[in-house]
Chains A and B, each alone.
Chain A
Amino acid sequence: MKTEQEFSLNIMSLPSKPQFQNFIDAFEIGKMGTYFWNSAFVSLFTVIFTILFGFFTAYILARFKFPFRNVIYFMFLTGMLIPIHGLLIPIFIEFKALGLLNKHVTLIFPYVAFNLSMAIFLFENFIKTVPLDVEEAAVIDGSSSTNTVLRIVLPLCMPVISTAVILFFLGAWNEFPFALVLIESANLRTLPIGLTNFNGQYTANYTQMLAAMAIVVLPVIIVYLAFSKKVMQGMTAGAVKG
């Protein structure tokens, strides 16, 4: 809303002549539109796949006893301990070998992989709190097992799934190191990388950057508002159910 000159004189003052040129510049010069779509694409699929894989895996781990169940569960959990930066270079080399660098879907793989352990941990704990009687009743009423999971257990897990949606959406939306290393072409970049382009080596174009930031924050706020009610319940997921 302010020009660069006005901004450098007084950061906190209200704009004397409100103007939207910064927003226009952010889209035209900063390619915010392209980045926005890329971020949305990556975040959306990350959330879908993480929750899909996470939920079914967690269900099996929670409901069935099979050999090595504890070992598998423990392996998933240790996944949460792995520092992302340590894996950056190996993953880069691996992706290079697989020819997966610099594609639209590139970022979805690491994001899903890194979020899975968290998802499984959350879901597994929550599914354990869902009474088995409900499922038994459904089976007695002639529901198939797949049906039981999808129609009975899944809806009951809505609070924890909402939490997961917000958590993973935010994570994918704001993720920086992988987006930087695995993506080369400007057309496939995500928002966090795009934002830093307003920062030169010694100078920063703050006004455009702030305009761009306003654009970036919007969807996050929208997603949060949409799921916030569920999050309130989700916050207590795994806590004692009264």
Chain B
Amino acid sequence: MKKSYRALTSTALVSSMVLLAACGSNNASEGSEAAKPKIKFMHMYDKNATPPSHQADLIENFKKANPDVTFDEEVQSHDNYETKIKTLSAANELPDLFLVKPSMVATFVENGLLLPLDDQLNKDAAWKDGFIEGSLDPYIVDGKTYGVQMSGGPTHVIYYNKELVANAGFAEFPKTWTEFETLIKKLVEQKITPIALGNKGKWVANSSYMSTLGDRFTGTEWFNSLVANEGAKFTDPEFVQALGALQNLVKIGAFNKDMNSIDNNQQRTSYYNGKAAMFIEGSWAANAVESSAPKDIVEKTGLAVFPAIEGAKGAQNSVSGGGGWAYAVNAKVDPAKLDDIQKLIKSLTDSSAAKLILEYGDIPSSKVENIESIELSPMSKQLVQLLETTKYTPIYDTRMSPGLTESMNTTLQELMIGKYTPEQAAEAMQKEYDKEMKK
């Protein structure tokens, strides 16, 4: 038996050697020596994806215009991108150029992973001054800018069916919260779902509802103070009122029964069918409505934001928006690549890029001159007109830490199924907040 044991071991050893040898020789031949170092660029804009994205177009355009710049590109879909960029940051192996969300910026900067882009921005005043006011704020840490944003529309837009709203006795969208609640009660009487909601992913109630609703009650100062840990609390009466307003919508029957088991794509289905009078989502849904809804529904769709809340403290035309993904550069980047990287980021975010972004029905971060000259779809036109009357306020889940966002998402869901009173919900969030601030 002793002999066979040895024979077996040697078989195993030899076979593993063969395997290793087979792999070793498989070195992918790197491209021939380019004059410039390759830019390692990771993003999520696949040029073959449907619906097409403006960023994918702009990246292709840049490549055509600058054949001398070579890329080592990696394209992942949105969710995968997020997972992978976090993994790479933990391994300190970030690419040269990539995308970050506002909630990542603080952590990344703390660990010295991001390069301040102020020098690049200052080189080109027209580019720097072309950004809509406040659009780069979420990426500023200690006065330095770490991210350059291409587009960031509002995360709260009410898409409503004009005909159904008119049938309920409102020729135009309600102007006050009381009227809004009256409209909802009317729609319930008519056996129509007032607002289609798909909160399975939990972020809809936070990003598209609470960020705007909360701001109306508390004002933006409150949120800034909360994020900076300067005294504001979730348990402050104004915020509890906002939670109460949200819960009251559920109580008067504003939402469909299955709101927690369908997602934001599915919430649009009953709206497309004419069974729901409204749904609330960000500006990105405008594209989806235009491409997926039946023609007559598209024509009947009007856009609005939450009506003014009587006696509330905040600005009554506020809409959460402006956050989202932005381009960022690795702190360890080879300085020889910086000029090309600057050119690339500029071409993706400046005002000429903004025109294309508008044509795609998205809201650019740079200003666009003479908007009338651009061919826009009716829906985008409506959106642009709507945004002329509003002002941006922070999107909660892009400015709070991931842990706090998660806690808020879950708490809001539990508030909406009636498990918590507004006070209890506020306390639950505050508890999580205190835990984080102690660290």
Which B residues between 266 and 310 are near A, CB-CB below 8 angstroms?
Answer: 268-269, 272-273, 281-282, 284-285, 287-288, 291-294
A100-B23 in contact (CB<8A): yes
- In angstroms, Cα B151 to Cα A95, docked, is 36
B7-A199 in contact (CB<8A): no
Q: Hey, what's the 0/1 contact readout for B171-214 against A, CB within 8 Å counting as 1?
A: 00000000000000000000000000000000000000000000
Within 8 Å CB of B287, what residues of A? 203
- In angstroms, Cα B91 to Cα A181, docked, is 11
Within 8 Å CB of B268, what residues of A? 8
Q: Answer whether residue B228 sits at the interface, using C-beta atoms and an 8 A cutoff.
A: no
Q: How far is the CB of B286 from chain A (nearest CB, A)?
A: 11
- In angstroms, Cα B329 to Cα A230, docked, is 55
Which A residues between 83 and 135 are near B, CB-CB below 8 angstroms?
Answer: 88-89, 92-93, 96, 99-100, 102-105
A202-B285 in contact (CB<8A): yes
A149-B93 in contact (CB<8A): no
Q: How far is the CB of B24 from chain A (nearest CB, A)?
A: 9
Q: How far is the CB of B222 from chain A (nearest CB, A)?
A: 28
B11-A203 in contact (CB<8A): no
Q: How far is the CB of B413 from chain A (nearest CB, A)?
A: 19
B269-A148 in contact (CB<8A): no
Q: Pick the contact of A5 from B23, B91, B292 — CB < 8 Å?
A: B292
B15-A193 in contact (CB<8A): no
- In angstroms, Cα B50 to Cα A104, docked, is 28
A146-B50 in contact (CB<8A): no
Known: A196-B80, A202-B284, A203-B51. A146 touches B7 (CB 8 A): yes
Q: Pick the contact of A88 from B12, B46, B87, B294 — CB < 8 Å?
A: B87
Q: Which of B70-78, B388-396, B403-411 contacts A (4 or more CB under 8 A)?
A: B70-78
Q: How large, as a class, is the contact surface on chain A?
A: 35 or more
B7-A60 in contact (CB<8A): no
Secondary structure at the A interface, as helix, strand, loop or mixed, is helix
Q: Answer whether residue A152 sits at the interface, using C-beta atoms and an 8 A cutoff.
A: no
Interface residue count for B (Cβ, 8 Å)?
Answer: 53
Q: Answer whether residue A180 sits at the interface, using C-beta atoms and an 8 A cutoff.
A: yes
Q: Answer whether residue A11 sits at the interface, using C-beta atoms and an 8 A cutoff.
A: yes
Within 8 Å CB of B285, what residues of A? 202
Which B residues between 7 and 52 are near A, CB-CB below 8 angstroms?
Answer: 7-9, 11-12, 15-16, 19, 22-23, 26-28, 44, 46, 48-51
A56-B12 in contact (CB<8A): yes
Within 8 Å CB of B282, what residues of A? 202
Within 8 Å CB of A197, what residues of B? 46, 49, 77
- A106, closest chain B residue (CB): B23
A103-B77 in contact (CB<8A): no
Q: Answer whether residue B435 sits at the interface, using C-beta atoms and an 8 A cutoff.
A: no
Within 8 Å CB of B293, what residues of A? 8
A196-B77 in contact (CB<8A): yes
A148-B4 in contact (CB<8A): yes
Q: Answer whether residue B372 sits at the interface, using C-beta atoms and an 8 A cutoff.
A: no
Q: How far is the CB of B229 from chain A (nearest CB, A)?
A: 30
Within 8 Å CB of A145, what residues of B? 1, 3-4, 7-8
Q: Hey, what's the 0/1 contact readout for A25-68 against B, CB within 8 Å counting as 1?
A: 00001100000000000000000010011001101100110100
Which A residues between 179 and 204 are near B, CB-CB below 8 angstroms?
Answer: 180-181, 184-186, 193, 196-204
Q: Hey, what's the 0/1 contact readout for A137-178 against B, CB within 8 Å counting as 1?
A: 000000011101100000000000000000000000000010
Q: How far is the CB of A151 from chain B (nearest CB, A)?
A: 13
Q: Hey, what's the 0/1 contact readout for A1-40 against B, CB within 8 Å counting as 1?
A: 0001100111100000000000000000110000000000
- B15, closest chain A residue (CB): A52
- In angstroms, Cα B4 to Cα A118, docked, is 24
B7-A181 in contact (CB<8A): no
B272-A60 in contact (CB<8A): no
Q: Answer whether residue B84 sits at the interface, using C-beta atoms and an 8 A cutoff.
A: yes
- In angstroms, Cα B82 to Cα A92, docked, is 16
A149-B77 in contact (CB<8A): no
- In angstroms, Cα B75 to Cα A88, docked, is 20
- In angstroms, Cα B288 to Cα A57, docked, is 56
Q: Pick the contact of A8 from B1, B7, B292 — CB < 8 Å?
A: B292
Q: How far is the CB of B342 from chain A (nearest CB, A)?
A: 24
A9-B273 in contact (CB<8A): yes
- B288, closest chain A residue (CB): A203
B5-A64 in contact (CB<8A): yes
Q: Answer whether residue B90 sits at the interface, using C-beta atoms and an 8 A cutoff.
A: yes
B27-A99 in contact (CB<8A): yes
Within 8 Å CB of B80, what residues of A? 180, 193, 196
Q: How far is the CB of B28 from chain A (nearest CB, A)?
A: 7
- In angstroms, Cα B44 to Cα A100, docked, is 24
Within 8 Å CB of A89, what residues of B? 87, 90-91
Q: Answer whether residue A233 sits at the interface, using C-beta atoms and an 8 A cutoff.
A: no
Q: Answer whether residue B142 sits at the interface, using C-beta atoms and an 8 A cutoff.
A: no
- In angstroms, Cα B83 to Cα A186, docked, is 17
Q: Pick the contact of B26 from A63, A96, A105, A200 — CB < 8 Å?
A: A105
B269-A103 in contact (CB<8A): no
Q: How far is the CB of B6 from chain A (nearest CB, A)?
A: 9
* Shortest 4 CB-CB contacts between residues of A and residues of B: A145-B4, A201-B78, A202-B284, A8-B292
Residues of B within 8 A of A (CB): 1, 3-5, 7-9, 11-12, 15-16, 19, 22-23, 26-28, 44, 46, 48-51, 74-80, 83-84, 87-88, 90-91, 93, 264-265, 268-269, 272-273, 281-282, 284-285, 287-288, 291-294
Given contacts A8-B293, A186-B75, 20 further A-B contacts (CB under 8 A): A5-B294, A8-B269, A49-B19, A52-B15, A53-B16, A63-B1, A64-B1, A89-B87, A89-B90, A89-B91, A93-B93, A103-B23, A144-B4, A146-B8, A177-B83, A181-B84, A196-B77, A199-B77, A200-B78, A203-B287
Can you identify 16 A-B contacts, CB atoms within 8 angstroms?
A9-B272, A10-B273, A53-B16, A56-B8, A56-B11, A60-B5, A92-B91, A96-B91, A103-B23, A105-B26, A145-B4, A149-B8, A184-B74, A197-B46, A201-B44, A203-B51
